[in-house]
Amino acid sequence: MTTIAVPAWLPREPELKVTEASGAVLTDVRAAATAVSDVAEWARANGAPADFSGDAAEAADHAVTRFAADTDAVSAALERGALAIDEFLTAMRQRRSEREQLMERRQGLNDDRDDLLRRIETATEAQVPALQAQAAQLRARFDDYHHDLTSWRDRVDADEQKAVRALAAVDQLAEGVAAAADPSRADTTALAAELRRLGTDTDAVNAWWNGLSQAERNALLISDPDLVGNTNGIPTGDRDEANTSAVQRDIEYLLAKQASGQDLSASEQRWLENAQSIEKAVAQAGSVKYADLGVDAFVMAYQPHAFGGDGIAAVAYGDPDTADHTAVYVPGIMQDGTQIDENGDQALNLYEETVNSMLGEDPPRHGSVSTIAWIGYDSPNFDPESTMPWDLVDSAGDVSHTVTEANAQAGGVALSQFVDGLNSTHTGGDQPHLTVIGHSYGSTTSSYAAAGGMDADSLVLIGSPGASEGVHHASDLHMPAGQVFVGAADNDPVSWLGGEHGLFPGSWDDSVGLGADPAQHDFGATVFAVDNGQEFHGPGGLVEVGFMQNHTNYFDDGNPALASMADVVSGNSGAVVDTGGRTQAAHDYLYDWAGSEVRHHVVDPVVQTYEDVRDGAVQTYEDVRDGVGDAVRGAQDAWDDAWDSVWPPRWP
């Protein structure tokens, strides 16, 4: 009997238990390390001075000093532990990749084995020698696979042992004390000082950061997460790690304080709202609504105490350091760090529409996308929880910034630096295609940034109250030719505020306001179609429809504005149709609305009353009714004539 030895079918190797989600452990350890580091720092600052002598030598053993030394030892131990975990997670990421390759090999080998078995089933005696040779070759390939699989398992074991040893080396206080005194321990004070010195030179920051050892980066992430997480030029993944640790540290601290029965002060409550909003913004990428997109969230800025507690926050959906197309969305009035989750929803919707737009092309276009909600400036806002007179005054003072450009000007500088950071951290050099989208007062901020030389490829201004002082034409925004886009709904009252000239051209009021209306035909931007929204009447309508709906619907599904923004973001701006823009001044929209209000509230009711009388009281007297009808129509015409004479078509 002839024998052909076919190797045994290869089973699937179980997946590693350490996944990307295991990174949460590192975040936990870093958050704990940061908290201990903060305590150690406080204790050092409040312990007995090192140069005490004589009776004061007793102070060397001062309880606070000892406490400072102990907490520093714990901090050093956690720092070592976090580094060990970080290195382990990095190694496991590599091992998972290697396992995937091994499993692909396994699949190929099993397929070849099945193929050989099928051919053996139907083989003739003459074919046996050739099949035996092929079986031998296959056995050799199987042996190689088993060898590589064993090596891979050994590497996994070695990684685990290394991590366990590193953690065991700092699980005693004495070991922590030794770690704290280790001369090779990263000098985070010097590192932080250097990072601050590099400041806004984002290329220098990026080069410096990438030149640090993993241990130095790890130490700085623990000692100064607020600095690392908010410095433009630090890679997005590291900013995210730093900020996520800081958010977790803050939430744990504030919730623990609440749980202990202490009331949070107003500023602490605001601090908690900032932190929880970031947490929600990250979570919603994995929410039931958006989980199918499979997009990762990155916390790119978190400063809960900025701007008197309004806070700074930025969250990216999709990694901007590797994206082919990146968009930065800049919200406007009434937005602050406590609303980053709600603004993140706009960014996620834009993300989905952009990817859909690309995949909907014929043929489908593939590419990675990142959309970022950025609240990095002091948007004028009103605290709706204001109840006390001084709070109301404070809030009103904040909102009054809407009528000046100071916040937009400062915000423009911050936005431009943020964009510089995105260009510095992209793995392919500058961002391949970066779009900035400003909404409402955020459009004025974005215009300031652009006019000042922001390094973006496309600019979109929606619902704009003005394109900032000194900008008279799209060319003043220094974007590449044809890359300024504008959307303005006719019934969006905020878009009625733009205009370089006041109602009395050449007089004092020219300087008031937020600059030119970018939707004007002669501004020179591509003005895309938008959903103009509903007409509305009365102060209630101005609020409930004008501001609530017509000013906030640009990111809604089915609004042409969203589709056009997606085309711009994906680099398909040639598909954006220019409507030609407005041919009447922005403030004339307001004038027309005011006129229509007079008609709606004064003229129409009078006519309606006459018609009711006509149709009701004299219903049975047709001749009379017709006569009255003629009279009413005559009266209405007279009203219209009179109206035209008292209400000119434009501002007087």
Question: Out of 32, 323, 451, 494, which residue is the one contacting another protein (CB under 8 A)?
Answer: 494
**CA 338 from centroid of its chain's CA atoms:** 13
Ramachandran sector of residue 576 (left: φ over 0; alpha: ψ -120 to 50; beta: rest) = beta
Site for another protein in 569-608 (CB under 8 A): 587, 590
Work out whether 314 is an interface residue with another protein (CB under 8 A): no
Stretch that binds another protein, among 121-129, 308-316, 509-517, 640-648 (CB under 8 A): 509-517
Helix (H) / strand (E) containing 623: helix 622-646
Work out whether 512 is an interface residue with another protein (CB under 8 A): yes
Question: Out of 21, 174, 259, 288, which residue is the one contacting another protein (CB under 8 A)?
Answer: 288
On whether the CB atoms of residues 369 and 352 are closer than 8 A, the answer is no
493, 514, 609, 610 from 629: Cα distances, Å: 37, 49, 12, 9
The residue written with tokens 């590693």 in the block is 16
User: What CA–CA distance (Å, rounded) separates 487 from 547?
Assistant: 16
Work out whether 57 is an interface residue with another protein (CB under 8 A): no
Question: Out of 434, 531, 573, 614, which residue is the one contacting another protein (CB under 8 A)?
Answer: 531
Site for another protein in 395-454 (CB under 8 A): 396, 399-400, 402-403, 439
Stretch that binds another protein, among 51-59, 97-105, 319-327, 348-356 (CB under 8 A): 348-356
On whether the CB atoms of residues 352 and 295 are closer than 8 A, the answer is no
For residues 354-390, b (16+ Cβ closer than 10 Å) or e, as one string?
bbebbeeeeeeeeeebbbbbbbbbbbbbbbeeeeeee
> What's the alpha-carbon Rg for the chain, to the nearest Å?
33
Closer of 418 and 547 to another protein (Cβ): 547
Question: Out of 504, 598, 633, 648, which residue is the one contacting another protein (CB under 8 A)?
Answer: 504
Helix axes 236-259, 266-283, angle to 10 degrees: 130
Site for another protein in 183-222 (CB under 8 A): none
Closer of 29 and 327 to another protein (Cβ): 327
Contacts of 581 (CB under 8 A, 6+ apart): 486, 519, 520, 521, 522, 523, 525, 527
Closer of 73 and 281 to another protein (Cβ): 281
Question: Out of 386, 572, 579, 636, which residue is the one contacting another protein (CB under 8 A)?
Answer: 386
Q: Tell me which residue of 572, 556, 375, 542 sits closest to 457, measured CA to CA.
A: 572
Question: Out of 129, 539, 627, 649, which residue is the one contacting another protein (CB under 8 A)?
Answer: 539
DSSP class of residue 304 equals T
Closer of 355 and 525 to another protein (Cβ): 355
613, 624, 630, 649 from 638: Cα distances, Å: 19, 21, 12, 17
Helix axes 406-425, 202-211, angle to 10 degrees: 40
User: What CA–CA distance (Å, rounded) separates 473 from 516?
Assistant: 8
Stretch that binds another protein, among 154-162, 305-313, 338-346, 415-423 (CB under 8 A): 338-346
SS3 592: helix
Residue 177 token pair: 């004390």
Work out whether 273 is an interface residue with another protein (CB under 8 A): no
DSSP per-residue letters across 401-460: GGGSSHHHHHHHHHHHHHHHHHHHH-TTSS-SSEEEEEETHHHHHHHHHHHTT---SEEE
The residue written with tokens 């052909």 in the block is 4
Stretch that binds another protein, among 163-171, 330-338, 620-628, 632-640 (CB under 8 A): 330-338
With contacts defined by CB under 8 A, how many residues of the chain interact with another protein? 65
Closer of 223 and 379 to another protein (Cβ): 379
Pairing of strands 484-487, 526-527: parallel
Query: What's the closest the beta carbon of residue 433 comes to another protein, in angstroms?
Result: 18
Closer of 150 and 287 to another protein (Cβ): 287
Closer of 129 and 360 to another protein (Cβ): 360
Closer of 560 and 595 to another protein (Cβ): 560
Query: What's the closest the beta carbon of residue 382 comes to another protein, in angstroms?
Result: 6
Query: What's the closest the beta carbon of residue 240 comes to another protein, in angstroms?
Result: 22
Work out whether 331 is an interface residue with another protein (CB under 8 A): yes
Other CB atoms within 10 Å distance of the CB of residue 397: 11
Query: What's the closest the beta carbon of residue 431 comes to another protein, in angstroms?
Result: 21
Closer of 431 and 559 to another protein (Cβ): 559
The residue written with tokens 């961002």 in the block is 431
Work out whether 289 is an interface residue with another protein (CB under 8 A): yes
Question: Out of 293, 410, 603, 607, which residue is the one contacting another protein (CB under 8 A)?
Answer: 293
User: What CA–CA distance (Å, rounded) separates 414 from 426?
Assistant: 19
Question: Out of 334, 350, 408, 422, which residue is the one contacting another protein (CB under 8 A)?
Answer: 334
What is the edge-to-edge ordering of all strands in the sheet holding 312-317? 297-303, 312-317, 369-375, 325-330, 434-439, 458-462, 484-487, 526-527
Stretch that binds another protein, among 152-160, 226-234, 240-248, 496-504 (CB under 8 A): 496-504
User: What CA–CA distance (Å, rounded) separates 253 from 304?
Assistant: 14
Closer of 99 and 439 to another protein (Cβ): 439
Question: Out of 529, 607, 618, 635, which residue is the one contacting another protein (CB under 8 A)?
Answer: 529
Alpha-helix residue ranges (DSSP H) falling in 123-260 = 128-168, 173-181, 188-198, 202-211, 214-223, 225-229, 236-259
Closer of 541 and 629 to another protein (Cβ): 541
Stretch that binds another protein, among 181-189, 236-244, 346-354, 612-620 (CB under 8 A): 346-354
What is the per-residue binding string for another protein in 131-160, x denoting contact by CB under 8 A?
------------------------------
Query: What's the closest the beta carbon of residue 372 comes to another protein, in angstroms?
Result: 16
Query: What's the closest the beta carbon of residue 504 comes to another protein, in angstroms?
Result: 7
**CA 155 from centroid of its chain's CA atoms:** 38
Binding site residues, another protein, CB under 8 A: 287-289, 292-293, 331, 333-335, 339, 342-343, 345-346, 351-352, 355-357, 359-360, 364, 382, 384, 386, 396, 399-400, 402-403, 439, 493-494, 496-497, 502-504, 509, 512-513, 529, 531, 539-540, 542-544, 546-549, 551-553, 555-560, 562-563, 587, 590
